[in-house]
Amino acid sequence: MTHRIGIVGASGYGGGELLRLLAGHPAMDVEVVAAHSQQGAPISSLFPNLAAGDRVFDAIDPDQLADLDLVFLSTPHGPALELGAALHDAGTPVVDLSAAFRLSADGFREWYGEEHPRPDLAAGDAEAADTVAYGLPELYREDVRRATLIANPGCYPTAAILGLAPLVELAHAGSVVVDAKSGTSGAGREAKDRLHFTHVHADFTAYAAPRHRHTGEIERWLPGELGNVSFTPHLVPMSRGILATSYASLREGVSADDVQSALLQAYRDEPFVHVLEPGTFPNTKALGGSNGCHVSAVTDPRTSRVTVTSAIDNLGKGAAGQALQCANLVLGLDEPTGLTAIGVYP
Ligand SMILES: NC(=O)c1ccc[n+]([C@@H]2O[C@H](COP(=O)([O-])OP(=O)(O)OC[C@H]3O[C@@H](n4cnc5c(N)ncnc54)[C@H](OP(=O)(O)O)[C@@H]3O)[C@@H](O)[C@H]2O)c1
């Protein structure tokens, strides 16, 4: 059976990556390729890699979208709040790549400065509808399977949480520091002064600390009681990729073997998360174009701290790849369908 799929925000980086992945998906047919200002423009004018012929971007028509088997939303969170709620109410499964539904209503107010218009659909609230889930399958797979509105995680939270989650029981609450670096596609296609080649090339800078919006998302969805997190993102001169370096103080008696065992145990059956040997470190290029996440940890007995590094492609496991992984679960397909390509390297 082939599922009829729509993508809203198909002209953006996340939407374009979805188009690339879905071109090779055996059970999904992209029927609607909707954009906002790019409506009517040839797809090939933005994504020459897709060989899309003369197909153009469609208009956003909520009635047409509601008739599909699943819709990916890859827009800013404002339009996603409206469209996601409308499609959910119409009974159409949605995977939303934005932050519209990831936090609780209180968290949304705290980190996005807005009242959530549909608190019943705010995945971060314990009392949110059963039909809503945070789309990190490695931690919340059964919730994703039974949901119809998926709040796909942010790129930084995906990298940080996958690295830290297995270590929650081994570390001291309140001791976590996440230091992460992203390529410029993490900021989307829209032209911004700080993303000009002349600014980014041969430069490296931090931004938005200590209140980057993903801080609240990491704290909300890191399981257990690791408490407040200090998070500093950085922009690096590369197109894609995130490397998160996370630090935590270990409880007394926790050894390097305990740390490595916890990581291996957590991910032994996971198709997309690969634990490296201690002393070897993930690199972003190895994940480019894939849905993978590479994790490694080193433990320093001198400081009693663990350092976990985790790498993903921000447009892969950090956005479109993870969204497709969730969509496969929602539609009852094999989770890795269309996602088995490994990274392009070098
Ligand atoms: N880039 C990443 O690595 C990444 C990772 C995880 C999550 N995300 C999230 O995914 C979403 C998309 O990110 P992106 O990087 O793909 O952004 P982007 O490249 O800037 O693309 C944004 C898309 O949204 C559409 N859009 C803009 N304003 C709209 C409106 N008012 N109504 C409907 N559609 C509108 C744009 O259409 P037009 O171009 O036609 O105007 C475009 O297709 C964002 O919420 C972002 O936070 C991004």
Phi, psi of 88 (to 5 degrees): -60, -45
Q: Which of 312, 271, 337, 313 is nearest to 22 (CA)?
A: 337
Looking at the CA of residue 41, tell me the nearest atom of ligand 1: 40
Q: Which helix (H) or strand (E) holds 144?
A: helix 137-146
Of ligand 1's atoms, which has the minimum distance to the CA of residue 10?
Answer: 43
- Domain end marker among 94, 118, 152: 152
pLDDT at 191 over 90: no
Confidence check: pLDDT of 143 > 90: yes
pLDDT attached to residue 225: 86
In a domain, 325, yes or no: no
- pLDDT grade for 193, boundaries at 50, 70 and 90: confident
User: Alpha-carbon distance 242 to 316, whole Å?
Assistant: 10
- Residue 339 maps to a domain: no
pLDDT 10s digits, 10-28: 999 999 999 999 999 999 9
- pLDDT interval class at 93 (50, 70, 90): very high
Q: Distance from the CA of 49 to the center of ligand 1, in angstroms?
A: 19
Distance 10 CA to ligand 1 centre (A): 8
Domain-located, residue 341: no
Residue nearest to atom 33 of ligand 1 (CA): 36
Do 162 and 47 lie in one domain? The reply is: no
User: Is residue 142 within a helix (H) or strand (E), and if so which, with residue range?
Assistant: helix 137-146
Task: Quote the mean pLDDT of the chain.
Answer: 97
pLDDT score, position 179 = 98
Ligand 1 centre to CA of 328 (Å) is 22
Kindly state whether residues 11 and 102 are assigned to the same domain.
Answer: yes
Instruction: Determine the pLDDT at residue 1.
Output: 86
Measured from the Cα of 188, ligand 1's closest atom is 15
List the CATH number of the domain containing 18.
3.40.50.720
Q: Considering the domain boundaries, does residue 74 fall inside one?
A: yes
Over range 147-164, report the average pLDDT: 98
One domain for residues 310 and 206: yes
- Report how many domains make up the chain: 2
Q: How far is the CA of 74 from the centre of ligand 1 (A)?
A: 5
**Residues at CB less than 6 angstroms from ligand 1:** 9, 11-15, 35-38, 60, 74-77, 79, 97-98, 154-155, 185-186, 188-190, 314-315, 318-319
CA–centroid distance for 248 within its chain: 22
Look at residue 129 in the predicted model and tell me its pLDDT.
87
- Is there a single domain that holds both residue 128 and residue 182? no
Asked if residue 172 belongs to a domain, the reply is yes
The catalytic site residues sit at: 155
Q: Indicate the DSSP class of residue 276.
A: P
Q: Atom 45 of ligand 1 has which residue's CA nearest to it? A: 98
Residues 127 and 183 grouped into a single domain: no
130, 79: one domain: yes
Range of the domain at 179: 156-315
In the predicted model, is pLDDT for residue 194 greater than 90?
no
Note whether 196 and 232 are same-domain residues: yes
